[in-house]
Amino acid sequence: MGTRKPINKQLSLEETLDSYIFYLGEEAHIKVKKEEPLSLKVSIVALVNGGLAKQVELAKVFGIRRQTIWKYLKAYRKNGISGLADHRSGSHGIPSEIEKRVVELLLKATKRVEIPKIIATNIIPLENSDI
């Protein structure tokens, strides 16, 4: 297990060798595998759109620029989940069943409910994982 870093008063992050685990209060809500950058982008967009974290807070904890997060938000608003995908040469689109589940995650988060425990790409449902 890694050390939990506070993001703000309600949200914290634990980094392990292969994943990031987001906590609301003391309860783990989402585990994102590091091997899939799209999952992290989706989580960042969901947290900001859901009002659970500010761009500057997430930029600080992940060591990225706030403008990068702004680009994720803009890409999502313009093109949905496919806007967050890597569109460099050799990348393929997002399978529709995964996109559907990721959209569900974002919609629930933007309605300011708890981050849902669903699987989307490499986001692991915590009720079935051993953290």
HEC per residue, the chain: CCCEEECCCCEEEEECCCEEEEEECCEEEEEEECCCHHHHHHHHHHHHHCCCCCHHHHHHHHCCCHHHHHHHHHHHHHHHHHHCCCCCCCCCCCCHHHHHHHHHHHHHHHCCCCCCCCCECCEECHHHCCC
In which band, very low, low, confident or very high, does the pLDDT at 96 lie, cut at 50, 70 and 90? low
pLDDT at 95 over 60: no
What is the model's pLDDT at position 101? 62
The mean per-residue pLDDT over the stretch 100-125 comes to 48
Name residue 6's amino acid: P
Residue 15 bridge partners (DSSP): 20
What is the model's pLDDT at position 123? 45
Give the distance, in angstroms, between the CA of residue 48 and the centroid of all CA atoms in the same chain.
9
* Contact criterion met (CB below 8 Å) for 23 and 29: yes
Neighbours of 52 (CB within 10 A): 21
More confident residue, 10 or 124: 10
Q: What is the pLDDT of residues 41-51, one digit of tens each?
A: 888 988 898 88
% of residues, the chain, pLDDT over 70: 65
In which band, very low, low, confident or very high, does the pLDDT at 105 lie, cut at 50, 70 and 90? low
In which band, very low, low, confident or very high, does the pLDDT at 117 lie, cut at 50, 70 and 90? very low
- In terms of Cα–Cα distance, which of 131, 120, 37 is closest to 86? 37
More confident residue, 110 or 54: 54
